[in-house]
Structure 1
Amino acid sequence: MVVQRAECRPAVNESYMKLKKLQLEELKKPLRLSQQLEKAITTNYKPVSNHTYNVEYEKKKKEEGKRARAEKPKVLEMLFSAFEKHQYYNIKDLVEITKQPVIYLKEILREIGVYNPRGPHKSTWELKPEYRHYQEEENEEEKMV
């Protein structure tokens, strides 16, 4: 609720006029200026068609060649030795450990392993209970005690 009304006007003197003149000059200045350069700038970065790390990766991949399927018992041995170290593995890690094609590795894993689609160990594989050696050892220790 408005109770009282007041109007204010500046005292028109020399200092006020100088202030207004400076404000008008600032508004007249362009926001952007163009400059003429004396020499060309050579520090621009040009696009690279293939970066060095891509070239190194391709070279490494060619040296390795395509992954050849090893015999199933040998792959099973590698998988069991890996699962002795850790209970859960990502498919990428298993491919790196066994050096086998993903499709072939998934075929074998479906036989001996269980895929965890959700939960704390999401997108990982673990051995089926009948293939787990670490649980049997714990049970034997419990029986002895």
Structure 2
Amino acid sequence: MYLISNDKKKMYIEGTVNKECFVQPVVNAEYLKFKRSLKETENEKVKVLDYFAEVKRNGKYSSLREMEVLAKKRKQMLQEKKRERLEREDVLEILFNAFEKHDLWTVRDLADFSGQPVAYIQELVNEV
């Protein structure tokens, strides 16, 4: 992250942030009084910009929070995609019906058509 200063005519980088620290104040009467006094004398605003939070690397997000959110979404999608195996005869009937519609199928397309796991379809196709 960079610390940017802003004059009336131009902006320039004043420094860089090397380490990050999170501080949480004790909320008491003295702290609240201090915060009220800041609101009254708010002349100058300081902005801290994180340019790297929006940078994408190879189509992936660099922010750790965004990566965690994407990982949770992927995990949830995989849980929804899990399929239970039907009886062997039922699946074979579905497969034969699929080949009545079209002559050529990939294993993945057959799995999507039948709603069964790819490994199970591959096993049945090898047997037939």
TM-score by length of 2: 0.46
More strand by share: 2
